[in-house]
Amino acid sequence: MVFINSEGKFNDNSYLIDGQLFRMNGTLAIYIIENDGMRIMLDTSSEIAVRKIVKKLKEFGLLPIDKLLLTHSHWDHTQGVAKLKKLIGDFEVLASEKAIDDLKNPERINEPFEYNVAPVENVTPLKEGDIVDLNGLELRIFNFFGHTMDSIAIYDKKNKNIFTGDAIIDRYDYETVTGTFMPPDFNETELLKTFEKLRNMKDKLNSISLAHFGVWTDEDFDKILNEMEEIHFKTKDAIIKWYNENPSLEYITAKYHETFTPDSTMHTKENILGLELVVSWLINGLKFSGFIK
């Protein structure tokens, strides 16, 4: 299998749990990395998803959680921190050093998405090159800026896998793909540097674990690396063009579906509201970064 989207263990040390963003399957992946009894969890999904996530942690024998690493400060990756602590007990929270202020004072991140995230305090800052040690399993931190200016990736050398959060691309399945130019601080120059950084690591990898969604291996991993820039520019340029033609969200979403996701079983014509929400954020990302005036 080259695309892994089922819950459970997918390499010697890593597990995937469906974070069920918006109560939908396959919308946000929660990853747990375990070695010799020590565990780190990547991201939390939304607050309403936490109880189901904890149930899965119990089913897979993945409690306690020792550390939680937040790949970036967007609401869908951080909103569940307090509830998770309430349900399973305390753990160390880690994030990019660039994320500390927005986690502590989340109003700037909350506003463009119209979601509420409580402050996250006492976060251990991480920077490029830092190592998170899980009883001998070394996870190296890379700055993967662009989607946000606090996005980090986690490189697992042993298993030749990299966890990228939202930093590269959102490919929920073979037929559902979106760009990652989200508010409030999308930076295209940094995103292109991140694409190049990942491509330069290709020989050290055979899989990429996306937050939205799943583990892409072998030829599917190669396909993502080969298509990163193309998907970014095609989706960005198309949305700008459609916005200039007609700024109606319904019009742009219909054009996006027709052009990029016509065969998606997640975003169908009959169930287009989820795609409409994503497209609204993409439009706002382009507005915040000055591509749409």
Mean pLDDT of the chain: 96
Superfamily of domain 3-226: Ribonuclease Z/Hydroxyacylglutathione hydrolase-like (3.60.15.10)
Coil, strand, or helix at residue 41? strand
Per-residue pLDDT tens for 204-252?
A: 999 999 999 999 999 999 999 999 999 999 999 999 999 999 999 999 9
Cβ proximity of 56 and 19 under 8 Å: no
Q: Is the per-residue pLDDT at 115 higher than 90?
A: no
DSSP 187-225: -HHHHHHHHHHHHHTGGG-SEEEETTTEEEEHHHHHHHH
Q: What is the mean pLDDT of residues 106-111?
A: 93
Per-residue pLDDT tens for 202-215?
A: 999 999 999 999 99
Q: Is the per-residue pLDDT at 116 higher than 90?
A: no
Q: What is the mean pLDDT of residues 81-101?
A: 97
Paired sense of beta strands 3-4 and 137-143, if any:
unpaired
Q: What is the mean pLDDT of residues 88-115?
A: 95
Q: What is the mean pLDDT of residues 148-154?
A: 98
Quote the pTM value: 0.95
Tokens 């295209």 identify what position? Answer: 188
Q: How far is CA 85 from CA 64, 191, 252, in A?
A: 11, 33, 40
Q: What is the mean pLDDT of residues 77-90?
A: 96
In DSSP terms, which residues pair with 106 in a beta bridge?
A: none
φ, ψ of residue 36 to 5 degrees: the values are: 50, 45
